[in-house]
Amino acid sequence: MKNSPKKIIKTTLMLLASCLLALIINYNFTMEIINRIVYIRDSLMEPLAITLIILQAVVIFSIFKMFISRQIDKYSYYIIWTCYFFILAFVLFGRPTAFRKFNFNPLDILNGLNNFDSIFIYLLNILAFIPIGYIFRHKGARNMLLIMIPIEFLIETIQYIFKLGIFDINDIILNLIGICIGYIISKNKDLLKIENTSSANKNKDTVI
């Protein structure tokens, strides 16, 4: 049976999006992590980067397919969340600076809207926290904000105290926007069905 044009277009778009996200993640996080752990000769950097981009693209493509089919096995579900929180922890606390600085001016966001690099960072701050909103999909918006606002301030305080970044009110605003987007998209919705892999529970799938 031949694939329909619609399915081919959808698969192509997923592949392109997966490759783009893999490039962004590899450039901003993966290679930085590797450089912190091991020394790599310059001659090996390019082939290593290409290999990692391909592997990450495959993983991201698999995640896209999972959400489209709305079905996932239990172990993959927890592995994905573990990887997400590991990457998020590195982004928040894994890149120390040599100084302490703070910014309490929320209007400072507007100053960066005419700069592509700043806009890119703003988008990353929003996108990185969208999955957090999914966690609160069955909770009230008020409860979500009462929990996440103090946590956001705690994150920024830790970054300031231990020189892991600057205390920036704009980061808090952008992260909360991402959380709210994730909450609105997934509110009271069961987006995935977790398949129990054990034979004893194979008929007891969990909807999440």
Summarize pLDDT for 8-37 with one digit per residue, the tens.
Answer: 888 899 899 999 999 988 888 888 777 766
Predicted confidence band of residue 183 (pLDDT cuts 50, 70, 90): very high
The reply to whether 60 and 132 lie within a common domain is no
Domain that holds residue 151: 97-208
| Separation in Å, CA 24 to CA 5, 7, 112, 182 | 29, 26, 20, 21
> Is residue 75 domain-resident?
no
The reply to whether 43 and 110 lie within a common domain is no
pTM score, two decimals? Answer: 0.73
**Which residues, including other chains, have CB under 8 Å from residue 56's CB and lie 6 or more apart?**
21, 22, 25, 26, 30
The reply to whether 195 and 121 lie within a common domain is yes
The reply to whether 50 and 119 lie within a common domain is no
Count the domains in the chain.
2
The reply to whether 201 and 101 lie within a common domain is yes
Lowest-pLDDT range of 9-13, 36-40, 54-58, 97-101: 36-40
> What's the alpha-carbon Rg for the chain, to the nearest Å?
20
Query: How much of the chain exceeds pLDDT 70, in percent?
Result: 86
Lowest-pLDDT range of 22-31, 32-41, 75-84, 125-134: 32-41
List beta partners, residue 71.
193
Residue 55 CA to residue 18 CA, distance in Å, equals 10
> Is residue 33 domain-resident?
yes
The reply to whether 107 and 57 lie within a common domain is no
> Is residue 43 domain-resident?
yes
Lowest-pLDDT range of 74-78, 158-162, 191-195, 204-208: 204-208
The reply to whether 65 and 101 lie within a common domain is no
**Which residues, including other chains, have CB under 8 Å from residue 148's CB and lie 6 or more apart?**
132, 136, 176, 179
pLDDT at 133 over 90: yes
Identify the pLDDT of residue 20.
93
The reply to whether 33 and 109 lie within a common domain is no
Identify the pLDDT of residue 205.
58
